[in-house]
Amino acid sequence: MPLHDPDYRGFASDNYAGVHPETLEAIAAANGGHQIAYGEDAYTTRLGEVVRAEFGGGAEVYPVFNGTGANVTALTSLMPRWGAVITTGTAHIHTDEAGAPERVSGLKLLTVPTPDGKVTVKLIRTQAWGWGDEHRAQPLAVSITQTTELGTLYTPDEVQAIADFAHRHGMALHMDGARLWNAAAALGVPLREFTTDAGVDILSLGGTKNGLIGAEAIVAIDPSRAPGLVYLRKLSMQLASKMRFMSAQLLSLFDDGLGVRSAEHANAMARRLRAALEAGITDGSITGLSFAQPTQANAVFAVLDNAVADRIRERVRFYDWDRAAGQVRWMTAWDTTEADVDAFVTAIREELVR
């Protein structure tokens, strides 16, 4: 018997959602019999073929356990210990990974403030200096997040501009793709168009936020920029023995478009939530609510009184984003239903009136 209510859904994080049924089927299909451990199995071999078809013939894939492991291991592979990574002040590697990139890898994060979670060439320039100066950590990589921590999107052209600048200055480009599938669904383009074709060198390929369990991956699009990944994954404690079950899950996202289908559904539920609330603001039936960011994927960033947010949260769980500014974050997932959204809108309306 389950220890939780399987019908309950919140709006705190897409990490709260369970495993997609098609992914569970993929895990079950990979079970039975023996397969060689540590990645020498049929499923990991097939994953490599699929990744090369998606991201280019030279791409190499390294399944790992979690997003922090993917980010830290990928960034470590890009530079020596005296290297630095330019990123935004809101980047997950800076705000939500407990200092892991700096403590585990020894690299330095050089952050820039940005109002929408997106770094630009102009912002990168503020930290891209000091090469050859022994007193400064050397800027050797740029890291961007797609979609960003504020739910915004980079277009392929924006990624390309960043990659071109980085490469001209001897830096590599890393993409944290924790919600990469949501970006692909929102942009309506293949993954390759805003990664490989736009100049990304190494990618953290997300899975957990899109219906997988304990399965993410590093995709070295240009392996020459990330030497030693096969060793770094092990010493970073990210090498799975029964890797076939991780690879089978990752394969499921590419099978019959599951990754994009799931992400598009999550995005659509966020649009439904935003549209219903905006309609209420327009007709005057909702007051005391505004939005802090555009809703471009599966995140809605709203602004309302903290006391109201606390009352809503007693009914439906979600997180404060910036309590001082009254900002909250509402996330939708692959299993969010229209009924979930409509009930949440009703709760928001009722508490705003109170």
Residue 8: inside a domain, yes or no?
A: no
CATH code of the domain in which 268 resides = 3.90.1150.10
Q: Per-residue pLDDT for 100 more than 90?
A: yes
Over residues 15-35, mean pLDDT:
97
Whole-model pTM: value is 0.97
Q: Choose among 258, 249, 341, 299: nearest CA to 64.
A: 249
Are both 272 and 152 inside the same structural domain?
A: no
Preceding amide of 126 cis, omega within 30: no
The reply to whether 317 falls in a domain is yes
Task: Give dist(CA 109, CA 135) in Å, integer.
Answer: 15
69 and 53, same domain (yes or no): yes
Pairing relation of β-strands 138-145 and 108-112? unpaired
Residues 6+ apart with CB under 8 A from 99: none
CA nearest to 259, candidates 56, 23, 9: 23
Beta-bridged to residue 111, according to DSSP, are 87
DSSP result, 100-164: HIIIII--EEEEE--SSS---HHHHHTT---TT-TTS-EEEEEEEESS-TTS----HHHHHHHHH
Sheet holding 138-145, edge to edge: 60-64, 216-220, 202-205, 172-177, 138-145, 83-88, 108-112
What lies within 8 Å, CB to CB, of 7 at 6+ separation is none
The answer to whether residue 326 is domain-embedded is: yes
On whether both 113 and 145 belong to a single domain, the answer is yes
Q: End of a domain among 231, 256, 281?
A: 256
Question: Residues 81-101: what's their mean pLDDT?
Answer: 96
| Residue closest to 154 by CA, chosen among 106, 194, 181 | 194
What are 205's strand-pairing partners?
Answer: 177, 217
Same domain, 305 and 227: no
Report the mean per-residue pLDDT for the chain. Answer: 97
Type of residue found at 101: P
Residue 196 covered by a domain: yes
What 3-state class would DSSP assign to 54? helix
Q: What is the average per-residue pLDDT within 82-95?
A: 97
Task: Mark which of 213, 233, 256 sits at the end of a domain.
Answer: 256
Does a structural domain hold residue 268?
yes
Give the CATH number for residue 78: 3.40.640.10
As a whole number of angstroms, the distance between CA 114 and CA 175 comes to 17
Q: Which strand (E) or helix (H) includes residue 62?
A: strand 60-64
Mean pLDDT of all residues in 79-92 = 97
Question: Which residue, 256, 276, 297, sits at the end of a domain?
Answer: 256
Q: What is the pLDDT of residue 133?
A: 97
Q: Are 221 and 328 contained in the same domain?
A: no
pLDDT for the residue 354: 84
Assess whether 247 and 266 both reside in one domain: no
**Where do runs of H (alpha helix) occur along the chain?**
21-30, 42-55, 67-77, 92-95, 100, 121-125, 156-168, 180-187, 229-235, 243-254, 258-283, 306-313, 338-353
Same domain, 180 and 119: yes
Residues 263 and 244 in one domain: no
More confident residue, 354 or 92: 92
Residue 198 and residue 219 in one domain: yes
SS3 call for 321:
strand
Tell me, what's the pLDDT at 65? 98
pLDDT for residue 193 = 98
Instruction: Please report the DSSP string for 172-183 in residue order.
Output: EEEEEETTHHHH
Q: What is the mean pLDDT of residues 156-169?
A: 98
Q: Does residue 14 form part of some domain?
A: no
Total domains in the fold of the chain:
2
Query: Per the domain annotation, does 13 fall within a domain?
Result: no
Same domain, 263 and 252: no
Is the CB of residue 333 less than 8 Å from the CB of residue 298? yes
Within this chain, do residues 346 and 309 fall inside the same structural domain, yes or no?
yes
Torsion sign, CA atoms 338, 298, 334, 263? positive
User: What domain range is 188 assigned to?
Assistant: 21-256
**pLDDT higher than 90, residue 1:** no
Instruction: Give alpha helix (H) positions in 175-257.
Output: 180-187, 229-235, 243-254
Residue 22's pLDDT is what? 98
Q: How far is CA 151 from CA 77, 91, 189, 221, 276, in A?
A: 27, 12, 18, 24, 18
Dmax (CA) for the chain in angstroms is 63
Residues 108 and 205 in one domain: yes
Q: How confident is the model at residue 270 (pLDDT cuts 50, 70, 90)?
A: very high
The tens digit of pLDDT for each residue in 181-234 reads 999 999 999 999 999 999 999 999 999 999 999 999 999 999 999 999 999 999
Any domain includes 319:
yes
